[in-house]
Amino acid sequence: MTSVSGSDADGERRNVSDAAGVAVLGACAAWSLVSAAVHGGRPEGVLLAVLAVAAGYAMGRICGVLLPVAAPTAAALTGLTLTVALPRLAPGPEIAAPLGHAGATAAVLTLSAGAACCAAWATPVPSLRLALRSAACGAVVAGAALGSVTAVVTCGAVLLCSLAAGRMPHRGPALAGLALTTASVTGLTWAIAGNALPKGLASSLEDQLTPHRVNLWRDALHLAHGDPGLGVGPGRFGELSATAAQSTLSDGKPHSAPLQLAAEQGVVGVLLLAAAYCWVLYALWRAPRPTPVVLTAGAALTALAALASVGNALSFTPVSVGAGLLAGLATARPLTDEPVSGLPTGSSRQRDRPAV
């Protein structure tokens, strides 16, 4: 009787999480249409991103139920292959300056490392576990080979966080820490755009980020101040940004997801982006998967959020699909119970389900 009651409570929590996700993603799509209707913008990019995340999440939930080890393994290998096979996801001579697509490369490799580590925690086979963690190390090596220092840092961070996740008895504080990390990176980006940092620190960061990128951020913040309610309309930043107009290689984006939404969809757009990230963390907190799997996915998605705060990673459909896929895999309920690899069966850290 207890198991039936526990199963019902588990199902109720998942229903709440799924309903919240539908509401948040639906609101993101609807608000882009509202903003576009007022200012004549082009909401197709936002709608495509929302659809990509939703499709990836649904696919991850289905595959995570049927193939909790094979599905994330396949996702990791696909991501590693993608960065090599598609030149537009890797920095190259024709796209490297001034901003290039290094952000997308780092994002795909980071998600691949996260998927490989999730699969490693899900398998009880020691040799396969070692091979999967070696694949995550391969993402670090691939980032170095492609010349993406950012990918090396983020993939390495995900790998280290995944190893540390096995020693964390509770997921709540760790997920709160990930949320704080994302808020800190976003706040730093906003502070740079608003000239709110000390001069010496601001100059050092501007040199690393490139003046062109920082000028794009400042244009976005200026447009956001002009119409904080609705923004200038989706897809219109490139038309109204003086910095983007002066560059022959501009893609019409400010290379920061929060600042782009602030400029094009106003405060509501930024709040909806924050709500989408918080929903992912909430879904991970409520997920029936073992805590190390959940925290590994959370670390990878947090690294992606940091990349999106300082780059154009979310402008690439494979990245949006991959983010949704990893979140779906980490929140699925496999058909059989999972012992956490490296921990004894029945350990209090095998499953850290939040109490109702």
Amino acid 132: pLDDT? 96
pTM: 0.89
Rounded CA separation 290/269 (Å): 33
Per-residue pLDDT of the chain (356 residues; tens, 9 = 90+): 444 454 555 556 667 888 999 999 999 999 999 999 988 888 999 999 999 999 999 999 999 999 999 999 999 999 999 887 775 554 443 333 334 456 788 999 999 999 999 999 999 999 999 999 999 999 999 999 888 888 999 999 999 999 999 899 899 999 999 999 999 999 999 999 998 988 888 888 888 888 888 999 999 999 999 989 889 999 899 888 888 878 766 677 898 999 999 999 999 999 999 999 999 999 999 999 999 999 999 999 999 999 999 988 888 899 999 999 999 999 998 877 665 544 544 443 444 544 33
Q: Is 162 exposed, middle or buried (0-12, 13-18, 19+ CB in 10 A)?
A: buried
CA-to-CA distance for 228 and 150, rounded, in angstroms?
A: 32
Smallest CA-to-CA distance from 231 within 9, 55, 43, 24 is with: 43
| Spatial contact of 276 and 28, defined as CB atoms under 8 Å apart | yes
Q: What's the Cα-to-Cα distance from 230 to each of 31, 33, 35, 234, 314, rounded to whole Å? A: 9, 11, 6, 10, 21
Q: Which residue has the tokens 């309309």?
A: 233
Look up residue 62 and give its two tokens. Answer: 């289905």
